[in-house]
Amino acid sequence: MTTSMQPMVYVVDDDQGMLDSTVWLLESVGLHALPFTSGHAFLQACDPHLNACVLLDVRMPSMGGLHVQQALQKRGITMPVIFVSGHADVPIVVRAFKAGAHDFIEKPYNQQLLLDSVQQALSGRVPQQVAGQALSDVHARLNSLTPRERDVLMPLVKGYTTREIAELLAVSVKTIDLYRSRVMKRMRADHLPDLVGMVIAAGLVDPLNLR
């Protein structure tokens, strides 16, 4: 029987295959995982007294992940939320971080990346030494950007579209696509959520004041 001392990972995904594989992964490293195929079912069963986090799919029928996150906040439930989604466009990522998401991971996810994120969420913090080194690495990458690359980086992580950035900087869309690719490579960001998280961690943007 699960007690309030045992960490719990709620997994909410309407894709039964993805749900089963994620639960299997979590249980394979000794974590307790409880699956749900809908946000409504999760909210009904959610125990705010547990040391828990929730893995939330963004797009689900009836009630999507962002709405589940809002419902948790309205109930005063502050458990860490990790979004897992195959649809990680900028507006969704920005909304998630604005609302205090712990992390945003794109499908198909790297298993170790997901496990690391869950463990950090359950522990409530990243070990200071690891966090400090990771942040130093991020700052070093940021400092390696050219002025033009930084001009593209900032509106990109704030949710502006490629076309809007092109108009803002008075260059072509193709040029912005090129610079975006260079920024991702220099920052070692495989996906846009990684880039947004880095810039927030570095203190360059306030997640509450994103677009």
Q: What is the CATH number of the domain that holds 55?
A: 3.40.50.2300
**Cβ-based burial of 72 (10 A; exposed 0-12, middle 13-18, buried ≥19):** buried
Query: Pick from 123, 139, 171: which residue ends a domain?
Result: 123
* Amino acid at residue number 25: L
Count of the separate structural domains present in the chain:
2
* Residue 201, pLDDT score: 78
At which residue do the structure tokens 């195929």 appear? 37
Q: Considering the domain boundaries, does residue 33 fall inside one? A: yes
pLDDT in tens, 13-69: 999 999 999 999 999 999 999 999 999 999 999 988 888 999 999 888 888 888 999
Query: Pick from 107, 123, 139: which residue ends a domain?
Result: 123
pTM value is 0.67
Which residues on adjacent β-strands are paired with residue 53?
A: 9
pLDDT in tens, 167-208: 999 999 999 999 999 999 999 888 888 888 888 878 887 665
Q: 54 and 153: one domain?
A: no
* Amino acid at residue number 56: L
Rg, C-alpha atoms of the chain: 18
* Residue 158, pLDDT score: 84
CB atoms within 10 A of CB 169: 15
Dist CA 12 CA 43 (whole Å):
10
* Residue 88, pLDDT score: 66
Q: Considering the domain boundaries, does residue 1 fall inside one? A: no
Q: 89 and 13: one domain?
A: yes
pLDDT in tens, 102-154: 888 888 888 988 998 898 888 875 444 445 667 788 888 999 988 899 999 99
- CA distances, 167 to each of 8, 11, 50, 161, 205 (Å): 47, 41, 49, 10, 21
**Which DSSP string do the residues of 58-101 spell out, in sequence order?**
S--SSS-HHHHHHHHHHTT----EEEEES---HHHHHHHHHTT-
Q: Considering the domain boundaries, does residue 64 fall inside one? A: yes
Q: 13 and 112: one domain?
A: yes
Dist CA 97 CA 207 (whole Å):
6
* Residue 131, pLDDT score: 52
Dist CA 70 CA 76 (whole Å):
10
Q: Considering the domain boundaries, does residue 83 fall inside one? A: yes
Q: Considering the domain boundaries, does residue 34 fall inside one? A: yes
Residue 17 domain boundaries = 8-123
Burial 33-70 (b: 16+ CB within 10 A, else e): bbbbbbbeebbeebeeebebbbbbbbebeebbbbebbe
- Answer for the pair 65, 39: CB distance below 8 angstroms, yes or no: yes
